[in-house]
Chain A
Amino acid sequence: MELLRSVYEVAGFILLIALGVAALEGYFYYHFKFHDRPWFFWAGLAVFPLLVWSGFVAGGIAKPGLFAWLFAIEAVVLAFFRYAVKGRHSLAYLLLLPAFVGLALLLVYPFLFEVYLSFHDLKLTTIMMWKNTGKIPFVGLEQYVKVFTTSPLSEVTFWALLGRTLLWTFSNVFFHVLGGFALALLLNNAISLKGVYRTLLVIPWAMPQVVAVLAMRGEFHSQNGFVNIILGRIAEAYPLLAGLGVGPVQWLSDYPLLTCTIINVWLGIPFMMVVILGGLQSISTSYYDAADIDGASYFQKLRYITLPLVKPVLMPAVTLGTVWTFNNINVIYLVTGQAGGTEQADILVSALYKAAFTYNRYSYSAAFAIVVFALLFFISVTYLHGFDAAKDER
């Protein structure tokens, strides 16, 4: 019964989408065939909102206000097509419309809403008021001041988080590229079982990230984790090393950031490896043959042939990897996000997430998000600018 209801709920939504597509189809007809028939406009105005509304009803959400909204939207859309778009670009706009409506509602609007939130005061005590009346007290720049003066969690400051984020991003990307490059160079040799190795090496990337991170967190558990078991055995077998401090470590409570970094490096190397390997394989061997004739050493070939030719593939991957790592909430939250979890490993974005959903400081978190976005934007623009400048020099 439960399952059946869930099917209904989604079937309603699917129906809604199907109707949306049907409506779009109708617009096509309207544009191509019913161009001169005035009844279509009125028929469309009457029929489409009703159809879409019944989709909502089937999905289990029926509100009278909704119908009025749909009607208004439909009227605007139909009028738009009847009077505004009659030119030769109409089809292109029609094709783009659904995607851009989706993006506007679920990407642009939330972004603007976040800006709005950051100037108001929405928190656990005001959320009921907002739910019922839709009003939140206006506080101006107070939230932005708080971002820099108070801790988003319980102790850690914005500046500490910023430093940690930069360290986290840099060390992760560095090891991703280093490890990925090394493995790609090794795999680019004419070795046997290459396909098997490649398959095994991409497993961390291919596994669902939640499983991979949770499993790795288990491996860093102080008693039952693989890492400490091995460290314990080494300490047992070689008392000399144990005297130097080798032995089980409280990874999750004493070195949470290091643990997260190790886990994320493990997760991220395969992607870089695959990208770089793709770049390496596209390099023609004739370059290397020519270099061999000239008597170039291995490192000269690496420096003057491989690196420059891999660069076009590597740079986008590094850029992408940097943004991904900077924005990586998943690893840190999954490792430290439980009740009683530490905040010693948090970076900007994970602190942002925790401030909103563990501490329920919505407006604060919105202001925080805007600051982080501005920061990322600034870094990206500077970086891309530098990238272009470097291109011009060549």
Chain B
Amino acid sequence: MTGTRKGYLSGLAASAAEVMDSPVRRAKALRYLLIHIVVITAAGICVYPLLRILSISMRPGDRLFSTDLSLIPDGATLAAYASLLKDTMFLRWLWNSLIITLATSFIGVSLASTAAYAFSRFRFPGKKAGLILLLSSQMIPAGMLILPLFLMIMKLKLMNTYLGMIIAYSVSSLPFSIWILKGYYDTIPRSLEEAALVDGTSQVGAFWRIILPLSTPALSIAFLFNFTTAWNEYLVARVVLFSSKQYTWTLGLFELQGQYITQWGMFAAGSMLVTIPVLAVFLYSSKWLISGLTLGSVKG
């Protein structure tokens, strides 16, 4: 990165001298300048709301509703963060989300890993029907299943519990996870397992000792996908959880922003605290995430 940046800067300096004598080069430099301007504008639009939240979260209480647009407000303070952690149940909400999300992802990935193995390595009656069922299940609008799930959870007396949430979430990413993992298993040569079978392990042993360890990248993608889906979920949580002690952070933030406009600063602080780790994980893993998405589709 530094290399290209250096090259770019020196290129700019050099171009100042050279541009004059070459219309082609001048047109090219102009074009690149335009590209940079457009892309920087777009990036600004993408990032600005986040910066605004940051700025609002640092405003002192009496200036929450100023029409000030500066990024670091006058008299910047972390008071909103302090009162968020002290006066609301924000940490509790995060904890709730974490438990529900981890349990969901764990279940989702373990179910998907074995099912994908069956789809990848075995021929059996009903295989094609199963794959079609998986794909067509993606056509059912997610919003449509919230109502029956809600009624089921109510009937099971699991309203307002973690277990109810985990049950509601656990299969939502399953078809997609199976699809990704199947695509990945397909790329692992069969000869590895055959060697293990010759050495005397069972098919299950080969799966457990060879395929699973080799599939760590795909498993982490599936885990990450399950995790983000459940972590950011709002609509199911809205109807299953009703006491603020059991809220996930999405419900908590909605309440902070919605009910009392005076809590705007705390909403902003909470948003920052939630967003930064998610952003970090996403940006760190986005390369694998995207390659994983294409991998699943190409090999499908």
Which residues does A use to contact B, with CB under 8 Å?
Answer: 2-3, 6-7, 9-10, 12-14, 17, 21, 28, 32, 59, 61, 89, 91-93, 95-96, 98-100, 102-103, 106-107, 109-111, 113-114, 117, 122, 131, 183, 186-187, 189, 191-193, 195-197, 199-204, 206-212, 214-219, 223-224, 226, 229-230, 232, 266, 270, 274, 278, 313, 316, 323, 326-327, 329-330, 333-334, 338, 349-350, 352-353, 356-357, 362, 365-366, 369, 372-373, 376-377, 380
Contacts and interface: CB of A to CB of B under 8 A. Distances in A.
Contacts, number: 272
B285 to A, nearest CB: 10
Given A95-B114, A362-B151, A373-B141, 14 more contacts: A6-B99, A6-B162, A9-B162, A12-B163, A99-B114, A110-B152, A114-B147, A117-B148, A200-B47, A210-B232, A215-B53, A226-B52, A333-B234, A352-B144
Contacts of A229: 67, 69
A365 B143 CA distance: 11
Contacts of A313: 294
B149 to A, nearest CB: 5
Contacts of A372: 141, 144
Interface string B54-74: 001000000001010100000
A266 B45 contact: yes
Max chain B Cβ within 10 angstroms of own Cβ: one of A202, A211, A377? A211
B274 interface: yes
A208 B275 contact: yes
B163 A99 contact: no
Contacts of A196: 1
Given A114-B148, A206-B282, A10 B162 contact: yes
Contact of A373 (B99, B115, B140): B140
Given A102-B171, A226-B48, A91 B122 contact: yes
Interface string B158-177: 10011100111011001100
A215 B271 contact: yes
A229 B65 CA distance: 11
B196 interface: no
A145 to B, nearest CB: 19
Given A229-B67, A352-B144, A209 B203 contact: no
A334 B234 contact: yes
Nearest to A185: B35
A333 B235 contact: yes
Most buried by A among B141, B170, B264: B141
Nearest to B152: A110
B239 A357 contact: yes
Contacts of B254: 210, 214, 334
B20 to A, nearest CB: 22
Q: Interface extent on B, as a size class?
A: 35 or more
Contacts of B297: 316
5 contacts: A92-B124, A96-B130, A103-B133, A203-B46, A327-B143
Contacts of B8: 192-193
Contact of B278 (A6, A199, A207, A266): A207
Contacts of A111: 140, 144-145, 148
A192 B5 contact: yes
B283 A199 contact: yes
Contacts of A266: 45-46
Residue from B47, B50, B231 with most neighbouring chain A CB atoms (10 Å): B50
B125 interface: yes
Interface stretch (B77-85, B104-112, B186-194, B217-225): B104-112
A7 B99 CA distance: 8
Contact of B43 (A201, A316, A329): A201
B203 A103 contact: no
B114 A193 contact: no
Contact of A369 (B122, B144, B162): B144
B27 to A, nearest CB: 12
A2 to B, nearest CB: 7
Contacts of B124: 89, 92-93
